[in-house]
Homo-oligomer: A and B are copies of this chain.
Amino acid sequence: MKALVFDGHHLRLEYNHPDPVPAGDEALVRVRLAGICNTDVEIMRGYRGFTGVLGHEFVGTVEHCADPRLIGQRVVGEISCSCGECETCRAGRYTHCPQRTTLGIIGRDGALGEWLVLPMRNLHRVPPGVPDEAAVFTEPLAAAIEVLEQVHLHPTDRVYVVGDGKLGLLVAQVLSLTGCEIASVGRHPEKLALLQARGIATILANQTADLDRSADVACQVADVVVDCTGHPAGFELARRLLRPRGTLVLKSTFASRRGVALTPLVVDEIKLVGSRCGPFAPALRLLRRELVDVRSLITATYPIDDGLAAFRRARKKGTLKVLVSMV
């Protein structure tokens, strides 16, 4: 099959990558559309030491599996493949199974190829009204929803989302549905404009710096801050925006090895919440009702044959979501 393969040094478009073979509990899925995530770019910088077919955001059609009801269905898939038997799995924390493989990230070929395999239990049918271009966002939207799963966000809370990348834009939209007082802080007027169009308040980061000088206005006012930057400077801004005893959600992994100072978290009695993968079913429900706008986040779609160009585009400054079409 055709696939975008990272060999530890370079990304290659292979035309004769071996077709994946499903195990007994797995389904063979023909990928229709896949997304490029920042994590894919991080992997090419050495994150997780992964080699193989990249990609973990996709929508596809089930071609073969033991359950006849699944065959021919349009599906999306949870990316963590857990053992289902260890103490962690039996406690319901499947995405934290120490034996897990993860689609295109840990020990399992990913979605940026014509075919993939995933356990049948990982698959979710896509409702008929949700087009491929929206369904392909299920995985990152689920990650945004995970914040609501972990934190009791009150409708009276004041909330800041720091970072206007793809994930930040999804998090701001999801959290705003609770009716909370929310503003998104970012550096890109054209990205923040997507939120303004949905009636969500935004703050340009240099404006924040200005407010910062009159500390009692902008700082230590939020009940909850979500850092979607993955940069120590974003973390620092998030912390300064948070009130004492507030909740700081870390929604991005940190590419930098530079550490952050923890003493202020003790002094202000901050609750820090790390946040990663989220639940697919609520994401599909929000997509079905069009309560989140994902299609405005698409910068470009490339055919798999132009997959290397797709990655070049994904790494360009100012790019939001780049999709790769297999059909």
Query: Which residues of A are in contact with B by a Cβ distance under 8 Å?
Result: 145, 148-149, 152, 154-156, 174, 176-181, 198-199, 278-279, 281-283, 285-286, 288-289, 291
Closest to A198 in B: B289
Q: Is the CB of A279 within 8 A of B177?
A: no
Q: In angstroms, how far is the closest chain B Cβ from the Cβ of A170?
A: 12
Q: Is the CB of B288 within 8 A of A179?
A: no
Closest to A142 in B: B155
Closest to A287 in B: B179
Q: Which of A176, A178, A198, A288 has the most CB of B within 10 A?
A: A178
Q: In angstroms, how far is the closest chain B Cβ from the Cβ of A249?
A: 14
Q: Is the CB of A285 within 8 A of B156?
A: no
Q: How many copies does the complex hold?
A: 2
**What are 23 A-B contacts with C-beta separation under 8 Å?**
A145-B155, A145-B179, A148-B155, A148-B179, A149-B154, A149-B155, A149-B156, A155-B282, A156-B281, A176-B289, A177-B178, A177-B179, A178-B178, A179-B282, A179-B285, A179-B286, A179-B291, A180-B282, A180-B285, A181-B282, A198-B289, A199-B289, A291-B291
Q: Is the CB of A156 within 8 A of B198?
A: no
Known: A149-B156, A179-B282. 12 other contacts (CB 8 A): A145-B179, A148-B154, A148-B179, A155-B278, A155-B282, A156-B281, A176-B289, A177-B178, A177-B291, A178-B178, A178-B282, A179-B285
Partner of A181, one of B145, B155, B178, B281: B281
Q: Which residues on the B side are within 8 Å of A181 (C-beta)?
A: 281-282, 285
Q: In angstroms, how far is the closest chain B Cβ from the Cβ of A284?
A: 9
Can you list the 7 inter-chain pairs with the closest CB atoms, starting with the nearest?
A179-B282, A152-B152, A155-B282, A177-B177, A199-B289, A156-B279, A179-B286
Q: In angstroms, how far is the closest chain B Cβ from the Cβ of A33?
A: 22
Q: In angstroms, how far is the closest chain B Cβ from the Cβ of A252?
A: 20
Closest to A284 in B: B179
Q: In angstroms, how far is the closest chain B Cβ from the Cβ of A116?
A: 25
Q: Which residues on the B side are within 8 Å of A154 (C-beta)?
A: 148-149
Closest to A178 in B: B148
Q: In angstroms, how far is the closest chain B Cβ from the Cβ of A176?
A: 8
